[in-house]
A and B are shown apart, each in its own frame.
Chain A
């Protein structure tokens, strides 16, 4: 159709190595289960297939770590390329920065770090699944969990709306199915159906909003949407000046609201959490939430950022006011509803709703701020800390269901006497979830709320302060229901006809690892925080300040960046790397830019100069590009 359309570079598949390994491994697991089905009993198959899946997880972890290593090695020009890479691959990795597959996916440190996190969490979830036999179809179960992870990894890497929608569906369809996997229980099927109905309605709402946004901007690429939206005057932006835009934005917000379980779109969450087998609940509460939040931040803080507060008023015509209200309602409702719950998983579901509210405070802060990347990084930090604590907490639920067949809070009675070490681990997890100082949960909340308070935006400050105050009060409320768990464990006598047996490795290990993460990042929060801020910098490609020390390691935005950044966003200093560009590499870089810009006709004509002076590296590249074109002619 379009002769200028550039071809896909198939070496891009190397950048997707972890996702590829997991997708293929899902098939391997299915086949192995098929082969073993006739010969082994279901519990034996559970262990065999579980270990096989863990082997795949280890392989994927290796691929992800190796990929980061290769990317960093290839970027560090002083060391030269490692000998074991073929020349064509070495050349590919040395110039690959940011976008792959024509700019539809990003492959940089952000995706690398998130991939590693997703894979580690998948490992814990798989391990936890091996605790007891809640189903007989182990091959299908493990394959679906693995493919859901593939969806999450690609969702967190997506750079445009088509990829975003497809990966979101890949993730959630796999999760619908695994929710209904506990065949002996009614509530599992019910939870699965409710999750499915709410989830697919929200997908349809999201898709309709997406189609309107596509109509408004003519593009699906985040960067390009941002440029188009930013190029209109303030009057045409936001919710009041533009009915179609407002509809699109609100529909997309509703879609994401369902995925992250924000009030008033939370109804599915308690039922799905209670109904699903505990490992699946853990995966919905952590992996799916992490991936959805990353996607939400990419769409709202990157693509739709020009519409956040166009008139500089917080409750003016922008999405910021909506997010602020949703955030306030979500954390308050979640915490108060959790107070009255008796089922442990249902309580955690409401606590997860409340946590979504806290994280939306961080999102709101990131959208007004000049320190957007830091604020987004603090949300990521909170998500990671929350995710590991929750995987541990759901392992406790798995333990209860396995031995007592129910998972009420009262079933924990007397655990402190029975297995004191694990009870202390659970104590740490709960204290971290409340946000008590020595543990990581405290620093997660601290960083996020500090970012909200530190915004120097005169009009936004009172509202953000109000949100932070509400968040702190809510943390106090949340202490009550977490303490009920501790009270049951330490102050009550064991009761009931069934007793908890020995935990076993598959339950101990997630609890212990969750505890270690809560303690370790409570004592050393700085390192993870800087990694997460670095990840956020490259997540919001055009973000303003890259002052963090880690930012120099981030690849410079490229590929999708076809036009100069708007002047307000142009304060980012050129990364040290760009000053060291020798002509040969600059030319390669310029060629790459040119490929990505094949359609940029305005810029492609030699006479047309960009309106705004492009900053640092982009400027160099544009100049080199013009030269390269003249050489071509």
Chain B
């Protein structure tokens, strides 16, 4: 493990891609782009989880589920979220003829 890539590199990478995802969610107006940005955030967390699992120093009684298992589950959850998200975006697109999240403003206050 000594010759591996240092843990810090993974963490910098994950933090950077998480920030890119967060900025994407806040800045992009296209609903599909927002969905992609959310995926980037989830995958950044996955990188973290797997890196921490590889380098971890588990305390006694750490439980049966290590981080890599959660990463696998997160991939599944992300797929479910995409399926649901695309469905919702299509539903809105049919009503507004636009995939722009700023246009969906029939309710306010």
CB distance from B7 to the nearest CB of A (A): 9
- Evaluate whether A208 and B48 lie within 8 angstroms (CB atoms) in the complex, with A271-B107, A341-B109 already known: yes
- Evaluate whether A191 and B31 lie within 8 angstroms (CB atoms) in the complex, with A224-B61, A224-B62, A603-B60 already known: no
Check A187 against B106 for contact (C-beta < 8 Å).
yes
Check B31 against A173 for contact (C-beta < 8 Å).
no
CB nearest to B80 among chain A residues: A173
- Evaluate whether A599 and B74 lie within 8 angstroms (CB atoms) in the complex, with A193-B89, A212-B48 already known: no
CA–CA, A631 and B21, complex, Å: 57
Check A597 against B56 for contact (C-beta < 8 Å).
no
- Evaluate whether A208 and B18 lie within 8 angstroms (CB atoms) in the complex, with A186-B106, A193-B31, A270-B109 already known: yes
- Evaluate whether A192 and B58 lie within 8 angstroms (CB atoms) in the complex, with A211-B67, A212-B48 already known: no
CB distance from B15 to the nearest CB of A (A): 9
CA–CA, A227 and B59, complex, Å: 9
Check A274 against B64 for contact (C-beta < 8 Å).
no
Number of A residues with CB within 8 Å of any CB on chain B: 63
CB distance from B24 to the nearest CB of A (A): 10
The residues of A that contact B49 with a CB separation of less than 8 Å are 211, 214
Per-residue A-contact encoding for B41-62, CB less than 8 Å = 1, 0 else: 1101110110110001111111
B101 within 8 A of A: yes
The residues of A that contact B18 with a CB separation of less than 8 Å are 208
A563 within 8 A of B: yes
The residues of B that contact A169 with a CB separation of less than 8 Å are 77, 80-81
A458 within 8 A of B: no
Check A221 against B62 for contact (C-beta < 8 Å).
yes
CB nearest to A195 among chain B residues: B88
A180 within 8 A of B: yes
Check B73 against A162 for contact (C-beta < 8 Å).
yes
CA–CA, A218 and B58, complex, Å: 5
A223 within 8 A of B: yes
CB nearest to A350 among chain B residues: B109
Check B61 against A223 for contact (C-beta < 8 Å).
yes
Check B60 against A599 for contact (C-beta < 8 Å).
yes
- Evaluate whether A197 and B101 lie within 8 angstroms (CB atoms) in the complex, with A191-B107, A275-B107 already known: yes
CA–CA, A160 and B66, complex, Å: 11
Name the prevailing secondary structure of the B interface residues.
helix
CA–CA, A205 and B57, complex, Å: 24
CA–CA, A194 and B60, complex, Å: 42
CA–CA, A163 and B105, complex, Å: 36
CB nearest to B10 among chain A residues: A215
A161 within 8 A of B: yes
CB distance from A589 to the nearest CB of B (A): 17
CA–CA, A190 and B96, complex, Å: 10
CA–CA, A562 and B63, complex, Å: 10
CA–CA, A220 and B84, complex, Å: 28
CB distance from B46 to the nearest CB of A (A): 8
Check B45 against A211 for contact (C-beta < 8 Å).
yes
Check B104 against A600 for contact (C-beta < 8 Å).
no
Check B38 against A204 for contact (C-beta < 8 Å).
yes
Q: Select the residue from B11, B48, B60, B74 with max chain A CB neighbours within 10 A.
A: B60
Check B70 against A161 for contact (C-beta < 8 Å).
yes
Check A218 against B62 for contact (C-beta < 8 Å).
yes
CA–CA, A190 and B51, complex, Å: 38
A483 within 8 A of B: no
CB nearest to A199 among chain B residues: B81
The residues of B that contact A163 with a CB separation of less than 8 Å are 65
The residues of B that contact A166 with a CB separation of less than 8 Å are 73, 77
CB nearest to B83 among chain A residues: A173
- Evaluate whether A180 and B91 lie within 8 angstroms (CB atoms) in the complex, with A201-B25, A219-B62, A271-B107 already known: yes
Per-residue B-contact encoding for A555-575, CB less than 8 Å = 1, 0 else: 000001011000000000000
The residues of B that contact A533 with a CB separation of less than 8 Å are none
B95 within 8 A of A: yes
Q: Select the residue from B49, B56, B96 with max chain A CB neighbours within 10 A.
A: B49
Check A221 against B88 for contact (C-beta < 8 Å).
no
Contact partner, A187, options B51, B62, B107, Cβ 8 Å: B107
A36 within 8 A of B: no
The residues of A that contact B14 with a CB separation of less than 8 Å are 208, 211
CA–CA, A601 and B34, complex, Å: 46
The residues of A that contact B60 with a CB separation of less than 8 Å are 562-563, 597, 599-603
Check A201 against B107 for contact (C-beta < 8 Å).
no
A217 within 8 A of B: yes
The residues of A that contact B22 with a CB separation of less than 8 Å are 201, 205
CA–CA, A104 and B107, complex, Å: 41
CA–CA, A94 and B95, complex, Å: 58
Check B77 against A104 for contact (C-beta < 8 Å).
no
CB distance from B25 to the nearest CB of A (A): 5
Contact partner, B95, options A189, A200, A208, A211, Cβ 8 Å: A189
Of residues 28 to 46 in B, which have CB atoms within 8 Å of A's CB atoms?
31, 34, 38, 41-42, 44-46
The residues of B that contact A191 with a CB separation of less than 8 Å are 107
CA–CA, A165 and B96, complex, Å: 33
The residues of A that contact B106 with a CB separation of less than 8 Å are 186-187, 190
Check A160 against B109 for contact (C-beta < 8 Å).
no
The residues of B that contact A236 with a CB separation of less than 8 Å are none
The residues of B that contact A200 with a CB separation of less than 8 Å are 38, 81, 85
CA–CA, A471 and B64, complex, Å: 42
A207 within 8 A of B: yes
Contact partner, A600, options B46, B61, B77, B87, Cβ 8 Å: B61
B20 within 8 A of A: no
B16 within 8 A of A: no
- Evaluate whether A201 and B41 lie within 8 angstroms (CB atoms) in the complex, with A215-B48, A218-B57 already known: yes
Check A196 against B41 for contact (C-beta < 8 Å).
no
CB distance from B86 to the nearest CB of A (A): 10
Check B107 against A274 for contact (C-beta < 8 Å).
yes
Contact partner, A219, options B59, B69, B88, B107, Cβ 8 Å: B59
25 A-B pairs whose Cβ atoms sit less than 8 Å apart in the complex: A104-B63, A162-B69, A173-B80, A186-B96, A190-B95, A190-B105, A193-B104, A196-B88, A197-B25, A203-B81, A204-B38, A207-B74, A208-B18, A210-B70, A211-B52, A215-B51, A215-B52, A215-B56, A218-B58, A219-B58, A224-B63, A271-B107, A563-B60, A597-B61, A601-B60
Given contacts A197-B38, A212-B48, A601-B60, 10 further A-B contacts (CB under 8 A): A166-B73, A190-B104, A190-B105, A197-B31, A197-B85, A200-B85, A214-B67, A218-B59, A219-B62, A227-B61
Closest 7 A-B residue pairs measured CB to CB? Answer: A562-B61, A221-B63, A204-B41, A215-B52, A219-B62, A211-B48, A600-B60
